[in-house]
């Protein structure tokens, strides 16, 4: 397995050789598992009545995700829904392949449906406040435009050792689309800031990253796999991350005005 040092410096190598981003799959908390790669996060939620996949990732890494699903003892045919946080290639390209393999229904934010069509035709269009219930899990979606027009974030509860924890994720944290020449839609910066403010009102005990570098998924996984403490459980990281997102946006705006 590839050992990550200065992670950002390795992304070009991983783009050419996607297997270099292979990560060991692992359970995060409750029925939440990581089955993705360093370059394309993918999560599974075991609801007791089927699986929910979140962001299937690139087509070129689908074989790694599939291998991780089997390594954890799950079967792809148990995937009932595939949630896509937004339409970008690193999150949604493999949606059609996994849907065809499993028969799972695909979801995406309504305002991203048109652009997502280059990768798949969604079965369910998600609006602000919609919920998805399967087995013991009820996911609530929040429309958080900015990174893309239809980005959706999500929240749900899990149980671990007799305690209930709230899992949450910001569906599109990247400020790369905030650069003027790369706007996904007009007004994206203002919408992004508004989305950050909405997210700050949410309580999150377990933050799962839209990308592995959002919450040091790789580093925390090594600790968990070695039998150490679960650093994913931390109710402070969520706000710190959102504040950092705002700082990065302000930096982009400042550099754009030079």
Range of the domain at 246: 7-256
Cβ-based burial of 68 (10 A; exposed 0-12, middle 13-18, buried ≥19): buried
pLDDT at 102: 98
User: Has residue 34 been placed in a domain?
Assistant: yes
pLDDT at 4: 38
User: Has residue 1 been placed in a domain?
Assistant: no
Q: pLDDT-based confidence at 13, cuts 50/70/90?
A: confident
Interior angle at CA 67, CA 63 and CA 71, nearest 5: 170
- Buried b / exposed e along 232-241 (16+ C-beta atoms within 10 A): bbeeebbeeb
Mean pLDDT confidence for 32-39: 97
Task: Check which CATH number belongs to the domain holding 130 and give it.
Answer: 3.60.15.10
Residue 219 is encoded by which pair of tokens?
A: 């580093």
Report the alpha-carbon distance of residue 120 to residue 137 in Å, rounded.
25
pLDDT at 56: 98
Tally of domains within the chain: 1
- CB neighbours (10 Å) of residue 6? 6
Query: pLDDT of 149-166, one tens digit each?
Result: 999 999 999 999 999 999
pLDDT at 7: 53
Query: pLDDT of 91-107, one tens digit each?
Result: 999 999 999 999 999 99
The strand ranges marked E within the chain are 26-29, 32-34, 43-46, 51-54, 79-84, 105-109, 124-126, 131-134, 137-143, 152-160, 163-169, 206-207
User: Has residue 187 been placed in a domain?
Assistant: yes
User: Has residue 97 been placed in a domain?
Assistant: yes
For the beta sheet containing 26-29, the strands, ordered from the edge strand earlier in sequence to the opposite edge, are 26-29, 32-34, 43-46, 51-54, 79-84, 105-109, 124-126
pLDDT at 58: 97
User: Has residue 153 been placed in a domain?
Assistant: yes
Nearest to 172 by CA among 201, 130, 141: 141
Backbone angles phi, psi at 62, to 5 degrees: -60, -35
CA 51 to chain CA mean position, Å: 16
pLDDT at 15: 77
User: Has residue 2 been placed in a domain?
Assistant: no
């Amino acid at each position: 397995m590839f050992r990550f040092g200065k992670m950002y410096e390795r992304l070009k190598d991983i783009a050419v050789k996607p297997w270099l981003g292979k990560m060991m799959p692992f359970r995060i908390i409750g029925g939440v598992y990581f089955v993705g790669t360093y370059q394309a996060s993918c999560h599974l939620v075991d609801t007791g009545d089927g699986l929910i996949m979140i962001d299937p990732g690139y087509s070129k890494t689908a074989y790694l995700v599939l291998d991780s699903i089997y390594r954890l003892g799950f079967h792809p045919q148990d995937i009932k829904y595939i949630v896509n946080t937004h339409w970008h290639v690193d999150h949604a390209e493999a949606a059609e392949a996994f849907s065809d393999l499993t028969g799972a229904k695909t979801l995406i934010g309504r305002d991203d449906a048109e652009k997502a069509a280059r990768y798949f035709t969604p079965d369910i269009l998600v609006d602000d406040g919609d919920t998805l219930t399967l087995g013991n899990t009820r996911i609530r979606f929040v429309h958080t435009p900015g990174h893309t027009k239809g980005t959706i974030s999500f929240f749900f509860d899990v149980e671990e050792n007799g305690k209930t924890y709230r899992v949450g994720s910001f569906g599109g944290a990247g400020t790369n689309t905030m650069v003027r020449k790369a706007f996904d839609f007009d007004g994206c910066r203002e919408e992004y800031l508004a989305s950050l403010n909405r997210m700050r009102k949410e309580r999150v005990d377990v933050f799962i990253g839209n990308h592995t570098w959002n919450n040091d998924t790789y580093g925390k996984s090594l600790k968990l796999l070695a039998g150490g403490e679960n650093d994913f459980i931390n109710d402070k990281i969520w706000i710190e991350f959102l504040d950092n997102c705002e700082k990065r946006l302000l930096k982009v705006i400042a550099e754009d005005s030079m």
